[in-house]
Chain A
Amino acid sequence: MQLTPAPGRAAGERALSPFARTLLALCILTAPVLAGVLPEDRFDYLEHYYNGGDITVQGPSVLVRKKAGDNLSLSAGYYEDMISSASIDVKLSASPYHEKRQQENAGLDYLHGKSTYSAGYIHSKEPDYTANTSYYSVSQDMFGDLTTLTLGYRRGWDQIFRDIKTPDGVIENDPTFRQRADHRGYTLSLSQILTRNAILNFNYELLTDQGYLANPYRKVRYLSPGQGEGFTLADQVYPNTRTSNAFSAQLKYYLPWHAAVTGNYRFFRDTWGIVANNFELDYTHPKQLAGHKWVFDASLRYYKQGHADFYSDLFPRADFQNFEARDRELAAFRSYTIGLGASWEFGIGNIGWLQKNTVNVRADHLMVNYSDFRNALLAGEFGAGDEPLYKLNANIFQLFVSIWF
């Protein structure tokens, strides 16, 4: 059977890059660790919605945590992305597509004295990508419980496929394309109570990747004067390894009028030449309104990164260098994220085992200004290499219910 690239998916984008998968795993890894204290029993159901750059992603996310005895806490989660994409990358060389990604995770935290041992497993699956991650960490309270040290390790192993469309119109995995990527992560975190109102967190993380790290659908472009719109597309070629270092610090301060402010800074550098910094400021303000307890949140985040060494929006010629990429995630850009949230605490009759219930809404607006990623769709109008720089504006909404029991 002769196979042709699937127009619905070729040159498109997967729901998550390999980096995002590992990051998502990391978030799940680090969030529940509380040395000396097990996480609270709770149930969360969230509906998320993202719209920006002609991409819509929505779906549910569920988390359940429950203690089993005095020393053990179990957790399980489910997350789903339903993607409808007609992004600039898709439009450049393919057609819109729809896709679903599902992720399940399970974990446990075991408390022994002032130590907490955590472990878990995450599995993510979509038509052309399967990701598995196992994680382990240990946290230790020290110095009168003013200090908590956490060491973590995780390992990920992914299988990458590429979808194609058969002459019969069926989309299936290309039997000639099957790749693998392995990831390892090492974390060191230190949490320190500074005063009766201030707490400081330091986090360091080393990540290594090996295997197929590119997006098999996206393309680079190179100048080809006189042909088409002045450029030609070609496959990306990524290095097979990547090592990154990230360091972050968070300071949280309790304000005299019963509110909290958080400052966050992160520095990132990797062997691909990407250097990034981000700053974030969060403010949380509880308020009693009409006899009900509310909590309001506001946040502002600034992110800046330089491009990877082998990134170019438009290469001068074919095979210009050994590694070539045009993924937007590797371009130079600045982004701003503004967020607002509200949480309303409510009761449900006289159900004794329910401790607290909240309904929460949150809206974020993301603005990304690329410095060296141009809107190649406008090459016919402006000429290849002279197109306007691309900008992304996205709205992100969350609606979720949390129940403590």
Chain B
Amino acid sequence: MSMSGRAGRTMRALAAGTLLTLLAGCAAPTPWVKPYEREHFADPIMSFARNPVSSTYLDHVLESREGARGATGAVGGGCGCN
């Protein structure tokens, strides 16, 4: 067997392995927290913005006195409660 043939098979195997790895990476992972296990996230105390008017006001008070701004974290999403 020539070296070029062996190298070609090695390259093809590497390419196939890489492709499989990439495809596996693209596949959606199985949810490790099932919907019926997310009842705690439906509890208002687990909300990041339980009192939006209050938290917005307090952010305003603090940040109007500070140089930093942004990424205040009142981000939405991910409650997983539906």
Taking Cβ atoms with an 8 Å cutoff, the residues of A that contact B are 16-17, 19-20, 22-24, 26-28, 30-37, 44, 46, 48, 50, 61-63, 77, 79, 116, 139, 141-150, 185, 187, 189, 191-197, 199, 201, 203-207, 244, 246-250, 252, 254, 258-260, 262, 264, 266, 268, 270, 272, 274, 276, 278, 284, 286, 295, 301, 303, 305, 308, 328-330, 335, 337, 339, 341, 343, 360, 362, 364, 366, 368, 392, 396, 398, 400, 402
Contact = CB atoms under 8 A, between A and B. Distances in A.
B66 A305 contact: yes
Nearest to A364: B58
A36 B76 CA distance: 10
A148 B76 contact: yes
B54 A19 contact: no
A144 B37 CA distance: 12
Q: Give the one of B32, B33, B62, B67 with max A CB within 10 A.
A: B67
Given A77-B53, A195-B33, A246-B68, 4 more contacts: A26-B69, A27-B56, A27-B60, A32-B49
Interface of B: 28-33, 35, 37-38, 40-41, 43-46, 48-82
Contact of A252 (B48, B69, B74): B48
Contact of A266 (B28, B38, B41, B73): B73
Question: Lowest 6 CB-CB distances: which A-B pairs, in order?
Answer: A191-B78, A148-B77, A144-B31, A33-B76, A20-B64, A246-B71
Nearest to A285: B45
Nearest to A75: B52
A142 B59 contact: no
Given A148-B76, A203-B73, A20 B67 contact: no
A34 B76 contact: yes
Contact of A191 (B50, B53, B77, B81): B77
Contacts of B44: 295
Contacts of A204: 71
Contact of A19 (B35, B53, B64): B64
Nearest to B72: A27
A24 B30 CA distance: 38
- The CB with the most chain A CB atoms within 10 A, among B56, B73, B76, is that of B76
Contacts, number: 241
Contacts of A196: 33, 37-38, 40
Contact of B80 (A79, A145, A187): A145
The secondary structure that dominates the A interface is: strand
B73 A250 contact: yes
Contacts of B49: 31-32
B54 A400 contact: yes
A37 B49 CA distance: 14
Contact of B77 (A141, A252, A262): A141
A18 B37 CA distance: 44
Given A48-B57, A143-B29, A199-B46, A274 B67 contact: yes
Contacts of B76: 30-35, 116, 139, 148, 150, 189, 191
A46 B71 contact: no
Contacts of A35: 76-78
B79 A197 contact: no
Given A23-B72, A197-B40, A396-B61, A147 B33 contact: no
Contacts of B53: 44, 46, 61-63, 77, 400, 402
A276 B67 contact: yes
25 contacts: A23-B59, A30-B75, A34-B77, A44-B51, A44-B52, A63-B52, A141-B78, A145-B35, A146-B32, A185-B70, A191-B78, A194-B33, A199-B78, A201-B75, A203-B73, A204-B71, A207-B69, A246-B68, A249-B73, A266-B71, A276-B66, A276-B67, A368-B65, A398-B57, A402-B51
Given A33-B76, A139-B76, A148-B76, A398 B54 contact: yes
B66 A50 contact: no
